[in-house]
Structure 1
Amino acid sequence: MSRLRVHAFTITLDGFGTGTDQREDAPFGDGVEGLHDWMMPSFRGEGAGVDDAAFRAGDEGVGATIMGRNMFGPVRGPWPDESWRGWWGEEPPYGHPVFVLTHHPRPSLPMAGGTTFHFLEATPKEVLARAVEAAGGQDVRLGGGVATVRAFLAEGLVDEMHLVIAPFLAGAGERLFEGLDALPAGYRVERLVPGEAGNVHATVVRR
């Protein structure tokens, strides 16, 4: 049975997954510089230890991905055209169907390497059903942004969540757990593991 998993989702010590004023030259906004420093060695092929293992685990057994419009790109509101094709160049790293939640659907976008972006106006349950079918028995990975993960958590749809807590405070931006007062009733912290970059890896699972 397919599970819905969050992986390598990084937040500050005070719970912010993004800073303020997200834009093309600052995809995660201001005030969170260094948020993803822990994974940079893995991107360069130089990773090792706990951080690298956690980074790579996010691709294991995943057959589809769900993300929000803000994770796909900086364009807001109606699409002016279809020139924006994601942050990742012509061969995104997914290699499977990716479902982008948006209030402004556009035609599906096939890319090199097996990735196809599908743009849907749907509820979390509806898009999860589509992704599970596309995953062909493998798990579904839930990407960002913050509001997207929060929406799936609010409906209790997430089975497992790997959070990385970065060792600094942001003070402003989007907090992952904002308004999720019922979260402790449905989820528990399974383990905490320190990483090499001063960060902490937290595994949160459904009760």
Structure 2
Amino acid sequence: MSKVVARIGMSLDGYITGPDAGAEHPLGIGGERIHNWVYGLRAFREMLGQKGGTEGQDNDVVAEWVARSGAVVMGHGMFISGEVPWGDEPPFHMPVYVVTHHPRETVVKEGGTSFHFVTEGPEHALALAREAAGEKGVSLAGGANLIQQFVRAGLLDELLLHVVPVLACAGTRLFDNLGTDQIEWEKVSVIDSPEVTHIHLRALKQAAG
């Protein structure tokens, strides 16, 4: 069965966006600082159809994640961030299943990305994504609310945190709304670089709900 992996940038104090995240500021005010490390990497630029970029261990981490993924699940809020959701050629290049309360027809973009809108909840979106992914994994793109739902339901297999050396002090926190049951993880690897520390975790025990 396809592994479900969430990969996300995070500040030292647990924020994945700056304050006031929304259509005007998809990453929140100042939230770009949490993700600056990825923009110049070769693997990330290739996702955007761009050439060049830096290589090294940060690039290897992103390239390995891209190679593992066969489908994406994301929340409605993440899909609608920005005036034109993800532009004409989004960076996914695979099926994306959007968990939403707003039914609509599938949107097919250039470069192999298709957005499918699932109103039956996260578990149904995951089932569809697993079928589409085949032997590859399912990438849980976020936002924070959807990742929290997957953790509470015991549906998240792995978490790849890219922790940057900054205190955001406000914004969207990743580890809120998880209940009171202890949640245990196995540390798979830690890769440190000047701009970011990559912490790869595997779920051992998930909250019951």
Partner of 2:33: 34
User: Where does the alignment leave 5 or more consecutive residues of structure 2 unmatched?
Assistant: 46-51, 205-209
1:156 and 1:192 mapped to 2: Cα distance? 23
Amino acid at match of 2:197: V
How big is each residue's C-alpha offset from its partner over 1:41-68, in whole Å with a ceiling of 9 and x where there is no partner?
1144322222111121221132110011
Instruction: Determine the structure 2 residue equivalent to 1:66.
Output: 73
Residues 6-85 of structure 1: pairs in structure 2 closer than 5 A: 6-7=6-7, 9-42=8-41, 43-44=44-45, 45-74=52-81, 85=84
Shift of 1:179: 3.0
Instruction: Name the residue aligned to 2:207.
Output: none
Conserved? CA contact 1:4–1:159, under 8 Å: yes
- Mapping of residues 1-207 of structure 1, within 5 Å: 1-7=1-7, 9-42=8-41, 43-44=44-45, 45-74=52-81, 85-87=84-86, 89-180=87-178, 181-182=180-181, 184-185=183-184, 187-197=185-195, 199-207=196-204
Aligned partners of 2:118 and 2:124 also within 8 Å: no
Q: Partners of 1:183 and 1:95 in 2: how far apart?
A: 36
**Bigger relative contact order (CA 8 A; separation at least 6):** 1
Q: 1:105 to 1:54 in 2, by over 3 A?
A: same
Pairwise CA distance, 1:183: 5.0
Do the aligned partners of 1:166 and 1:200 also contact (CA within 8 Å) in 2? Answer: yes
Task: Output one character per residue of 1:80-102: Cα deviation in whole Å (capped at 9) or x when no partner.
Answer: xxxx6522x21222222100111
TM-score (norm 2): 0.85
Find the residue that maps to 2:88 and give its secondary structure. Answer: coil
Q: Structure 1 residues 20, 131: CA separation in 2 closer, same or farther (over 3 Å shift)?
A: same
Contact 1:66 1:140 in 2 (8 A): yes
> Which position in structure 2 is the counterpart of 1:81?
none
Runs of 4+ deviating beyond 6 Å = none
Count of aligned pairs between the two proteins: 195
Give the TM-score normalised by the residue count of structure 1: 0.86
**5+ unaligned residues in a row in structure 1: which ranges?**
76-83
Root-mean-square deviation (CA), in Å?
1.8
Identify if the C-alpha distance between structure 1 residues 46 and 15 changes in structure 2 by more than 3 Å, giving closer, same or farther: same
Q: 1:119 to 1:60 in 2, by over 3 A?
A: same
Deviation readout 1:80-139 (Å, 9 max, x if unpaired): xxxx6522x212222221001111121110111221101112322221111111112321
Q: Which moved more, 1:151-160 or 1:187-196?
A: 187-196
Q: Using a 3 Å threshold, how does the CA distance of structure 1 residues 126 and 183 change in structure 2: closer, same or farther?
A: farther
Counting aligned pairs with the same residue, the percent is 37
Aligned to 1:80: none
**Does the 8 Å contact 1:49/1:196 carry over to 2?**
no
